[in-house]
A = this chain, B = another copy of it.
């Protein structure tokens, strides 16, 4: 294993060498604003992606999957629009998604299958290919290594803030950058819950290693967050590795690369949670003492998705009984007599008995914006961490507003 130093730096998808991006307005969003992003590698890049497991998959998901297969995992560009998800749009939607890739390929001078496509916005509304075609020459002209922030803004629907992250890895005196942008679920216009993330690196990474690294990292980052337990029709995480740094990642550097990739993805993922609908707190949920890693994750997700837990933390209530009750119904091994609950580092329940004297201290701790809760399941030695946000009345207001 190569020793590497990692430095978190300001930046995003255009921080790695050999990437340019742009964000323009194509008139897709009802309210004007940036709604079309292009992310382009100067040379063909190794590409990998992870898509939604929802069986109602949007047209851009189907087309990107097909392009990755047909290109053998090589891509020059990603084209993304916000304001319309192009989901549940039938054959016409497939034609639009393919048309977006072809139009981008034409201005870039590359095969259509080397363009990946992504959309986010309202489900069940047709996307205008004409608007995208009209905006593409401008998006192409605006491509620049300085315009990563515009791409980060153009993929937002109603996120409260853009999400960018980058790191610099130094390995044996040579440097590699990894950068990314993401959008989450700030839903003022209902039906926009898509999670999208796009990551670039100027390392050269063989396709098999890139696939493995992305899957490994996504599992501990984007798959470890939850705002409301929902999974959209359009979710995807894509990565392009173009080798512009001159550094190739082999098995020896794999661990260092994964560490860098995970740092970028985790920062983006936590940004999505912080920007969750109506969120006022970032909650780190840890489970320990699980029989297996899968059970640790399952229990942590159950706690993180529990409306009773999320409302209690929203209200600053150190309501440990709810944490125990969720752990007990999570469908995993759980032994009450050996279980424990901590809020922050404050013990509230341990070895079958309450520590209610500690409740005021825990209540004071819960006034923080970033809080953690830990449930020991008493059934083994595996653990897991997931991140979520609290459930506020604002969430209900945002999602109950009349759409039509």
Contacts and interface: CB of A to CB of B under 8 A. Distances in A.
A327 to B, nearest CB: 7
B307 A352 contact: no
A307 B337 CA distance: 33
Nearest to A316: B402
B308 A230 contact: yes
A387 interface: no
Interface in A364-398: 391-393, 395-398
Contacts of A124: 320-321, 349, 354, 356
A397 B393 contact: yes
A222 to B, nearest CB: 15
A322 interface: yes
Contact of A317 (B230, B360, B403): B403
Count of chain copies: 2
Interface residues of A, number: 68
A200 interface: no
Contact of A399 (B53, B315, B337, B356): B315
Nearest to A307: B228
Interface in A339-373: 339, 349, 352-354, 356, 359-360, 363
A123 B324 CA distance: 10
Given A321-B124, A354-B124, A396-B393, A230 B326 contact: yes
A396 B399 contact: no
A312 B123 contact: no
A108 B390 CA distance: 49
Nearest to A360: B404
Nearest to A332: B55
A65 to B, nearest CB: 15
Nearest to A52: B329
A401 interface: yes
Interface in A212-265: 228-233
The 6 closest A-B pairs by CB, nearest first: A315-B400, A56-B328, A123-B321, A311-B399, A393-B393, A231-B329
Interface of A: 52-57, 87-88, 90, 122-125, 190-191, 193, 228-233, 306-308, 311-312, 314-322, 324-329, 334-337, 339, 349, 352-354, 356, 359-360, 363, 391-393, 395-404
Given A363-B402, A393-B397, 19 more contacts: A54-B325, A56-B334, A88-B321, A90-B352, A123-B321, A190-B317, A190-B322, A191-B319, A193-B308, A229-B306, A231-B329, A233-B328, A311-B395, A312-B403, A314-B396, A316-B402, A359-B404, A391-B396, A392-B396
29 contacts: A54-B329, A55-B334, A56-B325, A56-B336, A56-B339, A90-B352, A123-B322, A124-B320, A125-B354, A191-B321, A230-B326, A233-B321, A233-B325, A233-B328, A307-B307, A307-B391, A307-B399, A311-B395, A311-B399, A311-B400, A315-B402, A317-B402, A318-B404, A360-B404, A363-B402, A363-B404, A391-B396, A392-B400, A393-B393
